[in-house]
Amino acid sequence: MLNSSASVSALTNDSLTTNIDRQQLLRPSDLTTNIDQPWSSSSYQDGLGGKNTLVVSPYTTTTITNFGSAGTGAEEDRIGLPNGLTFTQLSVSQGSDDNAKDTLVRVTNTGAVLAVLKDVKASTVDDVSFVRVDGNNQPIPDVVTELVGRAVLQADTFAPGATSGQFLNLNSNGTVGTSTNFNGRLFPFNGPDGQPVQGFSAVLPGPKSGTYLVMVDNGYGSKANSPDSLLRFYAVEPDFQNGQVYPVDLQTGDRLESFTNNSLFQLNDKDNKLADFQSIVADSDIYPGSTLIQPEGIPVDPTIKQGRLLTGADFDPESFRQVKDGTYWFGEEFGPYLLHVGADGTLLEAPIAAPNTLQLGNNSLVQSPDNPAFANLTDAERVKAANLPRSKGFEGMALSADGNKLYTLLEGPLVPDSQQNRLLINEFDLDNEHFTGTTYSYRLDAPFPNRAIGDMTAINDHEFIVIERDNGQGDASNPAFTNPARSKKLYKIDINKIDNEGFVEKQLLADLLNISDPQNLGGDATQNGVFKFPFVTIEDVLPIDNQTLLVANDNNYPFSVGRTPGQSDNNEFIKIRLSQPLDLTTLPMSDGIDSTQNCDWSSMDSDSETQEFNLTTDDTPLTRNLI
């Protein structure tokens, strides 16, 4: 079936000026669209050069040679999908036997081979390699999404807390860098306002309409460089009229002039739930690793010790949910673990590990190199002992519509998994506080490490929104970005619908690199009526109503530079309008819940003002873990 041939004709489209790049459009001239015709085959050799799109037939197997895919060094070609086909209905895999060097593109539900890409590695073929076409074989967008609001919190925004950033040069393998600044930001960031308001990795509704709770991650990206970064979330109000983001009171939602202790929620272990589990920074007199910087070490800030405040060397929270009783559950990456925290920020019990439900490899639990079980090993030994790569833990976590279950989503695949495009969703029973053993599989658009997820939130009892992204940042039209953003998308998944390969059904909701902006709300970020959200890590999504979503980036301060080359990213909040409404079921909060009851930040100055930094030194690039 794969060896037959058919001629093709070239269709030139010189007037194509949509958001899809101008391309040479090609389609097999003798292929029929008669659905009753038996499955046949055709072949095509790309000899034209440049960027081309081959419009394949949904009823044949098309063999393509000289296909330029990502990573081949050639102009990147695309496959045109007609008759309503979308990339999410396909699977991409390496062939076998006679096709071992080829990539096979299959229709998932039938298993039929749609295309064979000769001498192409499957790892270089992703969602960007495909485009939908209409009845005239013209490229069309998968979805139309409109920008309806944008607000920006400046990168150099700080909140009360200990001096942080003292260990930005400290790497996980024990080496120490020599940088004095990153993207012009000098460090450390001195107290009493030493905590950057950054790294937003999850979002929840705030104390009143229009306000939100945004959770910071572990700080600066690794266990080694973040022992002075405090684990917390903030209450904010994006004002979509004037484009600014304001701190608000955590209890009332009223605006504040600056970030103070009244606008933050701090995690702590004052009840010593970790005493028999792992040591934390607050247990030490000096910060871990600080003797590598100065022989006598650097003393742990007194406020951390007195309040047993949790830091970015203790855990790396990437997701959180508030449940019916007013307590919080956090998903983190070092274990990975689930953390149960009271309404005053106090850890209620020891962390809960995730079982290796599919029994992939030898580990009975899912464990990253930063798991405390490996604390006495060298870094190389930790990596070898782990079955999950570093920084690939519970990036996504959704609360079921009835409030009874959590669904955790790993950011990356397990190391022993032969399907490296599979991410595992595990169900957790809140009443009994255990993983149920029910597991779902999410298919990435391209094999790890080219893709990751950023967040997961519930729509109803079986549908969820997932952020999926590549590792690029910046607008591809700007040559200053050497690894630009190619794919930043929101998908709707349905755990009640499983395809023939065992993956949950996914459907594109929004392309964050192709957002219509007819009102020019995006300012300089909008070009030719199109707004792009080209940040390397986009980790916050929340339905506002059944057709409007709030989306925000994790700016990885001071490292990420997705908006302007050489300038640390701001925290951007956008509201987008979907083309079709969601079947949204919301979970009302229980009566009487006060998410800030019994909070005691007595170790901090509640009147502290936000410190503003005006830093002007040379830029020094550095590769860091994305957080």
φ, ψ of residue 522 to 5 degrees: the values are -85, -5
- On the CB side of 307, CA atoms within 13 Å amount to 23
Token code pair at residue 267 = 């995690």
Q: What is the mean pLDDT of residues 164-171?
A: 97
Residue 604 has pLDDT above 50, yes or no: no
Pairing label, strands 538-545, 185-186: unpaired
**Greater model confidence, 25 or 176:** 176
d(CA 198, CA 183): 15
Task: Give the contacts of 98 (CB within 8 A, at least 6 positions apart).
Answer: none
Residue 66 CB coordination number (10 Å): 18
Task: Give the contacts of 390 (CB within 8 A, at least 6 positions apart).
Answer: 172, 222, 368, 369, 370, 383, 625
Residue type, 258: S
Buried b (16+ CB within 10 A) or exposed e, 403-421: bebbbbbbbbbbbebebbb
- pLDDT at position 50 is 61
CA distances (Å), origin 326, targets 131, 395, 407, 516, 597: 45, 22, 18, 38, 10
pTM of the model: 0.87
Closest CA to 461 of 281, 585, 283: 585
**Greater model confidence, 597 or 558:** 558
Sign of CA dihedral 199, 204, 207, 212: positive
CA distances (Å), origin 187, targets 229, 290, 295, 616: 13, 15, 20, 12
Report the residue count for the chain.
Answer: 627
What does 22-67 look like in DSSP terms, one character per residue? P-EEEEETT----TTSPPEEEEEE--S-SSEEEE--TTEEEEEES-
Q: Decide: 98 and 118 in contact? Cβ < 8 Å.
A: no
Q: What is the mean pLDDT of residues 44-61?
A: 72
d(CA 590, CA 588): 6
d(CA 264, CA 386): 34
pLDDT digits (tens, 9 = 90+) for 415-424: 999 999 999 9
Residue 22 has pLDDT above 60, yes or no: no
540: helix, coil or strand?
strand
Which range, of 70-79, 270-279, 413-422, 456-465, averages the lowest pLDDT? 70-79
Task: Give the contacts of 19 (CB within 8 A, at least 6 positions apart).
Answer: 141, 514, 530
388: helix, coil or strand?
coil
Q: What is the mean pLDDT of residues 177-186?
A: 95
Listed ranges 78-87, 127-136, 217-226; the one with the highest mean pLDDT: 217-226
> What's the DSSP call for residue 21?
P
- pLDDT at position 49 is 53
Specify whether the backbone of 69 is left (phi greater than 0), alpha (psi in -120 to 50) or beta: beta
d(CA 83, CA 331): 41
Residue 23 has pLDDT above 60, yes or no: no
d(CA 309, CA 219): 14
Task: Give the contacts of 96 (CB within 8 A, at least 6 positions apart).
Answer: none
Residue 348 has pLDDT above 60, yes or no: yes
d(CA 314, CA 231): 9
Pairing label, strands 352-353, 396-399: unpaired
Residue 447 has pLDDT above 80, yes or no: no
CA distances (Å), origin 413, targets 134, 421, 455: 35, 7, 15
- pLDDT at position 57 is 82
d(CA 373, CA 343): 29
Q: Decide: 56 and 82 in contact? Cβ < 8 Å.
A: yes
